[in-house]
Amino acid sequence: MNTMHSQTTKLKLNCLVYIQHLQNIKRSIFAFLLCLPTSLIALILLLLLFYNGFTVFYLHLPFPSNPQPEPANFSYENLAKNPLKKLPASVMYAVKEDTPQVILKTLLPLLQNPAITMTPINHSVVFKPKKTHGYKAVKRMLRSADNLKRFSTGVREFFGKHGCKVRFFMTWISSLKSFGDREVFSVESLFRSHPDACLVIVSNSMDSESGSLVLKPFLDKGFKLIAVKPDFDYLFKDTHAEKWFKGLKKGNVSPGEVSLGQNMSNLVRLALLYKFGGIYMDTDVIVLKRFTKLKNVIGAQTIDLETRNWSRLNNAVLIFDKKHPLLYKFIEEFALTFDGNKWGHNGPYLVSRVVSRVSGRPGFNFTVLPPSAFYPVSWSRIRSLFRGPRDKVHSTWLHKKLEQIKSESFAVHLWNKQSREIKVESGSIINYIMLDCCVFCNSSSSSL
């Protein structure tokens, strides 16, 4: 018992000595700190705060592996041989959203962004945008097209007067000054292949006295075309776009960072075809041959090199009957998933998302054409069509490519954003196409 008591007492004494030793160390540290300059102490405290903040806010997130794309059984070879063959019933597609870079003087690689979900998200009326100067400009643009009831009567009278069986539509959202040689030549190529067609250009700037001067040479040759300001309320009536547009005018829908005019063009082309039926094409598309044998058609922009199935569609050329159910789905998708901050989300990626979901469902009857139909050259290689021959090898390649395009393509999309500043060189593919597709044939080819 005495031994245990002695050991306990000894342990207590050791603890007291250890505590006293720690207190001495503490006093020494404080004494050392008091001897340091004030600036050095502040630096030490700042480092301690930084370390504390880093440990509090640092999160480790595991990087998810890239999902494998769903298999698809779209056959590029079959469509090339029989372009009007309907899509098979059990088709699934992998749709990826990415933003193409503007090509100025060099070819740049395409930067891929992560794949997005194909589930519609209703966030078109989530918040009210700030009343910035840019948004006031948006309001002015929308007001300028209000109460234009003459749009519906004007278009119907135009079609009825001329008995238009082949109906083309274009939209022009920019200034009249911007409607240059390229846009005029697009119209030339349209009428060169379809002299019996009727063309409606939906535009505020083109529907003017100055705009009529641009169109006058075509009218003088007997071609049938008009420019008319849009009536958005009429075009969107009885579709999902009607509610979306009302929210936009009230300020309950954010127009986003991407040009609202561009997104309105994406929607208007769908509404035009849904209301009237016909053919829509961008103003940077050159028509090579007649479209009259095409019915309810959309073109693939790219294909998967391994599976040969389409990986992305495009909306630069659309051919559909009036009130086609796929157009209704396109408009619905626009209204439910509108995002004004993502380039292409409401355009090419939209049609890709919808087609991937409705393929195989009863009631949808349409055809996806291979890239060669409207997009024989990708945006990243469009410069190659503007270059003249550099040597014999290059000259041989140019002639083979030209013959391939003439044989397989209905039109050529020029990818305006990437090729706008590129000059047409003598002996280039575009040079030969312009000679074949012109109506006036008296303008300088290099100005396209």
Q: How far apart are CA 370 and CA 254, in angstroms?
A: 35
Q: Which of 20-24, 36-40, 129-133 is predicted most confidently?
A: 20-24
Torsion, Cα of 259, 264, 269, 272 (10° steps): -160
pLDDT band at 47 (very low <50, low <70, confident <90, very high): confident
The whole-number pLDDT of residue 94 equals 47
Q: How far apart are CA 166 and CA 197, in angstroms?
A: 5
Measured N-to-C along each axis, helices 181-193 and 429-437 cross at an angle, to the nearest 10 degrees, of 60
Q: What is the mean pLDDT of the chain?
A: 79
The whole-number pLDDT of residue 443 equals 58
Does pLDDT of 95 surpass 60? Answer: no
The whole-number pLDDT of residue 82 equals 45
**Least reliable range by pLDDT among 60-74, 206-220, 234-248:** 60-74
The whole-number pLDDT of residue 28 equals 72
Q: What is the mean pLDDT of residues 420-437?
A: 94
Q: What is the mean pLDDT of residues 15-29?
A: 73
Percent of the chain with pLDDT over 90: 58
**Least reliable range by pLDDT among 70-84, 169-183, 235-249, 261-275:** 70-84
Of residues 128 and 338, more confidence is placed in 338
Q: What is the mean pLDDT of residues 248-266?
A: 93
8 Å CB contact between 268 and 334:
no
The whole-number pLDDT of residue 48 equals 65
The whole-number pLDDT of residue 97 equals 57
Give per-residue pLDDT as tens, 337-372.
999 999 999 999 999 999 999 988 888 999 999 999
Number of Cβ within 10 Å of residue 133's Cβ equals 6
User: What token pair was written down for 96?
Assistant: 């990826």
Q: How far apart are CA 207 and CA 226, in angstroms?
A: 8
